A and B are shown apart, each in its own frame.
Chain A
Amino acid sequence: MASTLWIGTRKGVFALRPDVRRRVWKLAGPQFLGHIIHHVVQDPREPRRLALAAKTGHLGPTVYTSGDRGRSWQEAAAPPAFRKADESEKPRAVERVFWLTPGHESEPGVWYAGTSPAGLFRSGDHGQRWEPVTGFNDHAMYSKWAAGLRTPDGELLHSIRVDPRDARHLYLAISIGGVFESTDRGADWAPLNEGVAADFLPDPNVAYGHDPHCLIQHPLQPDRLYQQNHCGSYRLDRPARRWVRIGERMPRRIGDIGFPIVAHPRDPDTVWVLPMDGSKVWPRTALGGKPAVYVSRNAGRSWQRQDRGLPRAQAWFTVLRQAMCADQAARLGLYFGTTQGEVWASSDEGGSWRCLARHLPEIYSVSHAC
């Protein structure tokens, strides 16, 4: 099976392709040199199709799609854009398209996009024309859920998840705002943040206003959600509504702060995190300059360190929320990219790591395509 690791960076798109044993990887690109690429995503329903979220320093945000596995790209005819504001409203304009999610298997051609400022958009034609999801963007609670608390890259709507059992059942996350759920294809939404800490707020027991960094839903057990949050890592098994802080089982000196979280595609109990330093002024770098991945094989009840092959000292990695992924191989491969432009890989479920590429631009996303 052909395999590609798509690397979205602050200066363009790169592709890493392996030989059949995943021992030798060839770097191709850049495409879109100089463009800011937040996300590159394959459509699992039609694997030849891809979409990527782009802008440049000067130009506004847009989406490009490919129908030939990334050999050529076409710009969306109508990129994600908020509706024209009434005179009484605060005008909203998309500053960046941050996240892309293919729709449900029963809805070919449907994609969702998340933006900054927080906006949810839907395409029904493979990403060519995008429409606002008014059920979210114009929700009566929107101004409270997306109150304008910005990350350094702005307020981000991300981690759009479509329940593989039900196209109407959606989750999304906002940094900063929290996790939200819809059971009617986005017509209405409700917060889903009970049990999640928000210790940066005056009242840490709020219904929304949290900072989820990354939310995932297990494809084989869709009631199993994991969340890497600004304030710890969590698991939620629906229909329960209260998140369990699985990061409390991490070593205390490591903590449970990070950006990405990745699940084993065939084992809902196996999950990886990449802890970062969230102390004092939040360096967001590898703790002590010693990067490590942590894996749990029991849904977060215990964790093991995985750092074989990673630098032992003076490696101040930062790995952003879209920059870690797994492939589908029988012996699962794991990958992450750093803001310093390095791509690291494991072909034994995190047991050992090696660097596939370095000297790339700041890496925003790493995604696997078959």
Chain B
Amino acid sequence: MAARVNTVRIPSPLRDYTAGATQVSASGATVAALLDDLERAHPGMRFRMIDEQDHIRPHIRVFINQREVNALDEAVAAGDEIHLICALSGG
């Protein structure tokens, strides 16, 4: 079975964790697993997006392809593109 790999689009506020990369690869059958994989490769990144109760922070949005997801147990399919969005945080 081929390894599951997803492209993850990284918004500018999080690029300190990816050495400036605008997209990285990560894998996981769910959003939670994919974020864990991201955290292994880019330590510190997850907590800036997801709080200690596993809730997506108020100004972070997660999209699988064009669909917004609100829970970390959403399934991720091989080839899905993950968009991490930073939105509407005020002036």
Q: Closest A residue to B17 by CB, please name it.
A: A75
Q: Are B53 and A60 in contact (CB under 8 A)?
A: no
Q: Are A93 and B48 in contact (CB under 8 A)?
A: no
Q: Residues of A within 8 Å of B, CB-based: how many? A: 19
> DSSP class of B's interface residues: helix, strand, loop or mixed?
loop
| B-facing residues in A51-108 (Cβ within 8 Å) | 56-60, 62, 75-77, 79, 81-85, 91-94
Q: Does B87 contact A (CB under 8 A)?
A: yes
Interface string of B1-38 (1 = CB under 8 A from A): 00000000001011000000000000000000000000
Query: A64 to nearest B CB, angstroms?
Result: 11
| A-facing residues in B61-85 (Cβ within 8 Å) | none
Q: Are B47 and A81 in contact (CB under 8 A)?
A: yes
Q: Which of B47, B53, B57 contacts A91 (CB 8 A)?
A: B53
Tell whether A60 pairs with B89 under 8 Å between CB atoms, given A75-B44, A77-B43, A93-B55: no
What number of A-B contacts does a CB cutoff of 8 Å give? 54
Instruction: List the interface of chain A (C-beta within 8 A of B).
Output: 56-60, 62, 75-77, 79, 81-85, 91-94
Instruction: List the interface of chain B (C-beta within 8 A of A).
Output: 11, 13-14, 43-44, 47-55, 57, 59-60, 86-87, 89-90
Q: Closest B residue to A85 by CB, please name it.
A: B53
* Complex CA distance for A348 and B89, rounded to whole angstroms: 42
Q: Are B86 and A58 in contact (CB under 8 A)?
A: yes
Q: Are A93 and B59 in contact (CB under 8 A)?
A: no
Q: Are B13 and A93 in contact (CB under 8 A)?
A: no
* Complex CA distance for A92 and B53, rounded to whole angstroms: 7
Query: B79 to nearest A CB, angstroms?
Result: 27
A contact residues around B87 at 8 Å (CB): 58
Query: A167 to nearest B CB, angstroms?
Result: 27
B contact residues around A93 at 8 Å (CB): 51-53, 55
Q: Closest A residue to B44 by CB, please name it.
A: A75
21 CB < 8 A contacts A-B = A56-B89, A57-B89, A57-B90, A58-B11, A58-B87, A59-B13, A59-B14, A59-B48, A59-B57, A59-B60, A59-B86, A60-B48, A62-B44, A62-B48, A81-B52, A83-B52, A84-B52, A84-B53, A85-B53, A92-B53, A93-B51
